[in-house]
Every structure is written in structure tokens, then in C-alpha cells.
Structure 1
Amino acid sequence: MAQYRSSLLLPEDRLLKIRDDFIKEAQAGLRGENSSCLMMASMMDVLPNGEETGDFFAVDIGGTNFRVILVSLSESRGEVARFEMEDFAIPEEYFSCHADRLFDLLADSLVSFAKRHGFSGKKTAPVGFCFSFPVNQTAVDAGTMIKLTKKFDNEGFVGCDPVQMLQQAIQRFKAPFKVVALLNDSVGTLAGACYEDPNAKVGVILGTGTNACYVEQVAKIGTLAKGATSRPRMVVNTEWGNFTAASLPITQADREMDETTPNAGEYHFEKMVSGMYMGEVARRIILQLAEDAQLFGPSVPDELRVPWALSTPALSKIAEDDSWVLSGTAQILADDLHLPASRCTYSACSTVKEVCLMVSRRSAALVAACLAGLLRHIGRDGSHGGMQATTVAVDGGLFEHFDAYRGFLRDYLDLLLTPEVSAMVQLKRIRDASSMGSAYLAAAVTASPE
């Protein structure tokens, strides 16, 4: 266990090195130089401020489901008068059909949803489109699809403009909607916070995957075409999941897991941080302990060798297990890994819990280090004089459902920032962030003069 403690429980000086390496990569990406952080200009140069009014729709797709929402913003600043939302499962055939059919599904669902909720259609309604796939964004309402991800394998997707595709589908239904904003989930999270909190400057996704965006000075975005905007600030999508540096604590378990993934050799940071991978990293460490230290007796249970058998939700329950003699952990090992009760001794369960805690702490520590780097880069860590109140908007199941994780993240931020600065940084959970943020951005874009 000693080797895992030294590689997973990161001291302050190591985290500060990671922070500084992240800043270097981020700044190189902004200049357009070779960098593991793409630092993509989102073209979102206006954010909601709570003064928007009217009815706005949003379509949010990024996985096996999609969502349609209606938001009515009242005359009272920052107040939502009405909120309607429906989730739709994507039928299996739509993951491989032509892209036109998938966009028809989205448009049909939007039109039907609007009718169910009394939308008169007397005037054209603005729509925000959260499209969480790799896109080269060229305008607030335009971009080019770079590649397919997740389980999608649709012809006609790559190279298309998602806004045009959705707008054309809406026109086929002769419906009064106009798609006015294109964004991803991290930008939506930030926008969702900005509507009610003027101190929101950073948006973070901590769920199955991870990403972050923030408000940057346009003059610092070297990749932005001259004259692309007349406004002084724009949201930058860091794509920090791909952050790589020699200072990152990549273990043998990480390397072995990475080799089994479709994007081997990429997204090292995401694979040490996000919910998709944490359980599997822990399983591999537990397996190694079973082989080297006879954690579960003289033989290694076959069930422990099954890849991805330990989920991150199970890891979180083990990490938070306060039951008598860790009976909760023993039950999870029995349910998820099918380990016989006779093998789940208190000693074994105690070691398993420690592994889960260390993997969780490492994730929180790495996020805190990069977040501290982002705050330093934008002058929000007190290093450039007076400190301003700063809100970091966060969405994702890892942050929402894993209580201990939120505590770890706060603790590591407190460690890396001075007490006075840390007290001014708020981590704020934003509910239904990408969907709400999409509608808010549609409102902001509509309200903003060209």
C-alpha cells in the first residue's frame, strides 16, 4: 500500500507543480502553439446577466438521451417564471441512421413539446442548442462537426453545421423556431450560473467526463480571427480532459487501463479524474494487491479480474462507508464483484476502502490544481492584488452525488489558495446546467445588440 499512498496522495508541492504546468499548457494553447489543452474559442462573447425576459427554448443532446426545455424569464431580474422540461430516449436505430433523420427526431420532439406546453407560435421563438460533441465553432450560431463520439455512427454528421442541420429540420416541420446559439455542456454550465450570479467566471463538468471553460480577454486568444468580435471578452473551452504533463501522477494501473480505451494515449487527465474511469482504476489497484499481498486469501477471485466490474458509484459508496465493521463495503464487493462473504474480511474491506478514498482524493486534488491554475491565469487567485468574489459553476454526477468528493475538492482548493482567497471562491452546483444555460444563452444572444 505504501507505493500507492505515495503516488495517489499528492503533497502540496507536487500539486503546485501540476498547477504551473497546466498554466503553461493553457497559455500555449491560447497562443495557438502545440498544447495538450486546445483552448478553443467558443465564439460566445455575450453571457446572460439576469435582465433577459421572454420565452426561450433549448435542445440538449450529448449521449443516449436528449432534452427539450422551455424557460419563461420574468421582468424581475434573475427570476424564472416558468420552467418545463422533458427527457427523450434516443431509439437504437437513430445512432446509425443518416444525420438528417436524427435532426428530424430533435425537431419533431421540439415542436410536439412546444404544443403540449401551450406555445402559440404567433412569433418565432429563439432556441439554444447544446451539442456536446467535438465542434469547431465559427460563430455564436455556427460550427463544423469534427468527429463522432460515444455510440453515434451516423453518416452525414462529420463536416456538417449542427445549427443548420437542426434549423433545416425545423423548417421541414414548418415550425416558428430559430436556433440562435450553439454551445457545449461546460459553456452551458457557466451560462446557467451567470444568469443569477454576476461573479460566475468558470464552468466545470465533473461527471462521466470532465471539462472546463472560463471567461477570457479576447486580446489573449491568439487563435481568434481578427475582427471575429468587437466585444472585449469571450468564453474559452479549455478541453482540459486532454491535459498532459510530466508532473501528472500516472500509475501502472492508469497505463494498463489506458491501453484498453478507444483513445489510448490521450485524455490522461480525464482518465485520472472523471467518473467513467475512477472505479476501473481502483479495481486494477485492488487486483494488484490481491495478487501481490493476498488481499482476499491465497488465490485471486476470478470476479476481480473482470474489467470495469467496479463502477464509480460503487467506489463512492465504499469511500463513504461508515457502517459497522464495513459491512456496507462487504455487501458492495459481494453485489458488484461477486466476492464470497468469507473473503470480505474487515481487513480486506478496510484496504479496499482506503484504495477508493485515495483514487477519489487524487481526482479531487488534480481538479483543484488545474482549477487553481485557471484562477491564477485570470487573476482570480489573489496573486495580482485585491481578490474579487468568484463563482465556479459545476455540473456532473461526480460532483452532485459524491458528497465526500465535494469535501475533498474544497479541502485541496483551500490548500492551494490562501485562506483569504479560498473564502472568496464559491463552488456552485448548477441544476440542469447545460439545458438551462442553453436557454439563457438564447435569451442573451437575442437581447444583445450586434
Structure 2
Amino acid sequence: MVHLGPKKPQARKGSMADVPKELMQQIENFEKIFTVPTETLQAVTKHFISELEKGLSKKGGNIPMIPGWVMDFPTGKESGDFLAIDLGGTNLRVVLVKLGGDRTFDTTQSKYRLPDAMRTTQNPDELWEFIADSLKAFIDEQFPQGISEPIPLGFTFSFPASQNKINEGILQRWTKGFDIPNIENHDVVPMLQKQITKRNIPIEVVALINDTTGTLVASYYTDPETKMGVIFGTGVNGAYYDVCSDIEKLQGKLSDDIPPSAPMAINCEYGSFDNEHVVLPRTKYDITIDEESPRPGQQTFEKMSSGYYLGEILRLALMDMQKQGFIFKNQDLSKFDKPFVMDTSYPARIEEDPFENLEDTDDLFQNEFGINTTVQERKLIRRLSELIGARAARLSVCGIAAICQKRGYKTGHIAADGSVYNRYPGFKEKAANALKDIYGWTQTSLDDYPIKIVPAEDGSGAGAAVIAALAQKRIAEGKSVGIIGA
């Protein structure tokens, strides 16, 4: 999770008149390498479309384009009580979602902190026992009189998992510090269901979902203009509805009760776009981040645009300036010379500094790193932060433009969530204006843009519940919820 600081009034830009020529030259160099012109955005979008198509082909490509097995659009009339659980890095969230049947919903939720040792327990049952015990505690609290009918549950499992049907999730590999044996390469749904059944809790796991797909479906439930769900946070991702007949890799794998025109939610996982380095305008700092990462050559798009990396791009550029003798002269940089010591809250706070002399930025560098800065150095730091944030916002909408162009959408709402979207200063406006540049719209107000990025509904809560409702209906009608034989 990227933690961004509290919001402040939009900062004043200040004059560059007092910045010496040598620093102005460095600022101009940064402006050249971090500015993404319209032509580049359009070229990135064009290549993005071809990569999305590759991901849907039998051969496959860099972008996984994972079918989410949500094969219906929500009507907004779905109603009833549903449970959702979201297993994240530090907490288990349990949510009771009451779907109103009129495009509204109410939620009640509790969080249960995962004991640290559980992430690496050698007992594979322990995690599922913890989740089942938490569910029981929640149910006992919410339904003291007991439950007459089983409650369907949607499980947001935020780890790489392959699915041949909606109620299955075969863990590919643990991430987020988890390393529990005998779960990788196995379906996690029966493991959880076994512990729920053992405790006589009337709950049935009917859907396992990805949070981005949940964002798409929850937002569609409340707003039928929704065309995509997107996440701009620690990572970047998008989900949308494609058509089964256009998904080459599913040909011959779908049962006869799924018509070719049926929709299919696709979890793109497009942080891996352009791993071949064909079109994205990488700087030497992006190349360093990639080469020194645990997985070089992977997640190229994410490494240039997501919240996990923006602070590190800023730090690398400042260290470069220091090594060339332009800033931080004769100072101890031992605290600053550590990879990822700056998270994305740093450039965000620097951009939000409301003072003409950038006093908050001065305090930040002194208190955190023991570095004294001049006003002129702070103006370089501020401009560099703005450029890095703007580049991320502009590049990140290429995935939106690519999917909208691929599907032929001229208008619609893009439901967005994530810490960068919600908290990074100016991100929403810069992202919207980048879409305007790609399309060449003439409208002057963000509210009038044909394709609008809007705040999303809760994907891992309401989204999981709506998907559970859709899955339960398909199962009750005897319809397929996955590939033939799954």
C-alpha cells in the first residue's frame, strides 16, 4: 500500500528567476526526458492495443489478459445478503453486503489482523482456519439469531492465481511476504470451504475474484456507463468486458450454453506492458530500477507509472545530480543513499508544499535524511517531482485509451481506485488531460470529456458480492461457470 500524506491546498509554483544557470540546465534536461508529448502517448496506445490482442491469442504475450469468468453484466437488480472477504497483506477484511436491487448497496465490515507468523507458517491449514474463525466471529455478531439459508461468499484473493472457472483459484506463487508450503499449484477454494464446513458455518464460496475485476463489476452495478475498472496504486491494472468470440485462447474450451456474443470480464494485468521495450520512453533511471529489481525485464509499464516506484525514480535522479556535483554538496548522504527509502508520499508532499521558499520540503530533507537544501535546490526537486508525477499520470491512461479504442467505446465512465488516483496531487486532472490529448477532444472542461475517469465503488467488497450474486444465479440455472470439464 502506498501511503500518501494529508491533502493541502494546491501549492504556488514560485519563480525560477533565482535558480543559477547550471541548475536551470539540469531542470531543462529533466523536462526533456520526463515530458511525454501527445505523439508518444498515441504511439504507446497503438502498441498497447496490439499487445492486448496478443494476450487474448492462443500464443499469448506479455500482458496475461486473464478471463475472470464473470460472464454476465450486472443488471443493478441483484439483491440479497452476500459476504465478501479480502485477504490482503496485513489484514483480512470481512464484509456483509446488502444489495438493494436498485443499483444501491449497504455494507458492514470488520478487519482481522493477520498474525505476522501466519505468513510463513509451516502448517497450511492455519491460514484457512484463521479465515474461517474470523468469518464465524463476524457471522455470530451480525446474525445473533442464526441464519436460515446459506450465504454466498465472494473471495478476493490478491495473489497470482489461475482460474478455469469462477469458483476456483490455483495459486501460482505467493507474494507480499507469504510463504506457506503445500498451497502453491493447488486450488485455494476447497481449502477454505473445508474449514468453513468443519465449523458448521452456513457459507458457500461461490466466486474467487481479482480486485480490479471487482472494481469493474461493483461500479457497473451502480453505474451502467462503466466501461473499465482501473487501479492506480502500488501497482497498475485494468479490467473490462470483452466478448467470448473475440477471445481466441478460449476457442473450443467453452460449453455450448455460452453464446459467442456472451461477455467475459478480463483482468488484464497490464503492468507487464512493453516488457520488450519497444515503445515506452524509458530514462536511465527507469533502466536502473528495472536492472536492480528482483525481476528484471518484467512489469515495465508498472515500473514507470505506479506508486511503488515514483519516489525511487526521484531519489535516483537526485543522487545522479549529487554525484555530478550540482546539489547536496559536501553532505552526508548515507541515509538517502538507500534504494526505496523514499516512497511515493515524498514527491506528493513536495508537490503540495504551499510555501514560496518550499519550507516543508526543507523540513522533509532535514528531518528524514539530515540533508540541508538551498531554495534553488528545492526548486529543482519540486520541478522534478512534478515531472515524474505528470509522466506517471500521462502514461497510465494509455491502457484506458487502448481498451476503449479496441472495444470501440466513444463515451463512458472509467471507474478508478488506488492510492495514487485518490491522493496524489493533480493526478486526476493530468490523467484526464492526457486522455484528451490522445483523442484530440476539443472540450475545455473535464466534466465534458466523452470518456471520464470517475471514482470507483469498492471492488473487493461490493464487487466480490455482486460477482457472487451473478455466479450463484448461473450455478442455480445450471449454466457453465468455466471451461469445459473444469
Deviation for aligned residue 1:224 = 1.4
SS in 2 for 1:305: coil
> For the residues of structure 2 that align with 1:128 and 1:420, how far apart are their CA atoms?
43
What is aligned with 1:368? 397
Deviation for aligned residue 1:33 = 2.5
Equivalent AA in structure 2 for residue 250 of structure 1: R
Between the aligned residues of both structures, percent identity stands at 28
> For the residues of structure 1 that align with 2:60 and 2:473, how far apart are their CA atoms?
37
Equivalent AA in structure 2 for residue 242 of structure 1: S
> For the residues of structure 1 that align with 2:320 and 2:362, how far apart are their CA atoms?
19
RMSD of the alignment, in Å? Answer: 1.8
Q: 1:317 to 1:431 in 2, by over 3 A?
A: farther
SS in 2 for 1:133: coil
Q: 1:78 to 1:139 in 2, by over 3 A?
A: same
Instruction: Say whether residues 1:277 and 2:315 are aligned partners.
Output: no
> For the residues of structure 2 that align with 1:48 and 1:106, how far apart are their CA atoms?
28
What is aligned with 2:388? 359
Q: 1:48 aligns with which of 49, 58, 74?
A: 74
Q: 1:180 aligns with which of 206, 210, 215?
A: 206
Instruction: Say whether residues 1:206 and 2:236 are aligned partners.
Output: no
> For the residues of structure 1 that align with 2:149 and 2:65, how far apart are their CA atoms?
37
Q: 2:418 aligns with which of 396, 401, 407?
A: 396
Q: 1:338 aligns with which of 348, 370, 376?
A: 370
> For the residues of structure 2 that align with 1:242 and 1:33, how far apart are their CA atoms?
16
Equivalent AA in structure 2 for residue 327 of structure 1: E
Q: 1:377 aligns with which of 406, 411, 432?
A: 406
> For the residues of structure 2 that align with 1:111 and 1:226, how far apart are their CA atoms?
41
Q: 2:290 aligns with which of 229, 254, 258?
A: 258
> For the residues of structure 1 that align with 2:333 and 2:209, how far apart are their CA atoms?
46
Instruction: Say whether residues 1:437 and 2:437 are aligned partners.
Output: no
What is aligned with 2:281? 249
Deviation for aligned residue 1:219 = 0.7
Instruction: Say whether residues 1:101 and 2:126 are aligned partners.
Output: yes
> For the residues of structure 1 that align with 2:398 and 2:332, how far apart are their CA atoms?
37
SS in 2 for 1:155: coil
Contact 2:234 2:308 in 1 (8 A): yes
Equivalent AA in structure 2 for residue 111 of structure 1: K
What is aligned with 2:15? none
> For the residues of structure 2 that align with 1:208 and 1:335, how far apart are their CA atoms?
25
Q: 1:168 to 1:112 in 2, by over 3 A?
A: same
Q: 1:131 to 1:9 in 2, by over 3 A?
A: same
> For the residues of structure 1 that align with 2:217 and 2:60, how far apart are their CA atoms?
29
Moved more, 113-122 or 207-216: 113-122
> For the residues of structure 2 that align with 1:225 and 1:159, how far apart are their CA atoms?
24
What is aligned with 2:270? 240
What is aligned with 1:91? 115
> Which aligned pairs between 1:24-423 and structure 2 lie closer than 5 A?
24-75=50-101, 77-80=102-105, 82-97=106-121, 98-118=123-143, 120-228=146-254, 230-231=258-259, 232-244=262-274, 245-299=277-331, 301-339=333-371, 343-380=372-409, 387=410, 389-419=411-441, 423=449
> For the residues of structure 2 that align with 1:161 and 1:271, how far apart are their CA atoms?
30
> For the residues of structure 1 that align with 2:345 and 2:281, how far apart are their CA atoms?
23
Q: In the comparison of the two structures, how many residue pairs are matched?
A: 438
SS in 2 for 1:139: coil
Unaligned runs of 5+ in 2: 1-25, 480-486
What is aligned with 2:39? 13
What is aligned with 2:10? none
Unaligned runs of 5+ in 1: 381-386
Equivalent AA in structure 2 for residue 222 of structure 1: E
Contact 2:416 2:454 in 1 (8 A): yes
> For the residues of structure 2 that align with 1:49 and 1:338, how far apart are their CA atoms?
57
- Provide the TM-score with structure 1 as the length reference: 0.93
Higher relative contact order (CA 8 A, sep 6+): 2
SS in 2 for 1:152: coil
Contact 1:56 1:125 in 2 (8 A): yes
> For the residues of structure 2 that align with 1:402 and 1:299, how far apart are their CA atoms?
30
Contact 2:34 2:388 in 1 (8 A): yes
Deviation for aligned residue 1:431 = 4.5
Deviation for aligned residue 1:299 = 5.0
What is aligned with 2:4? none
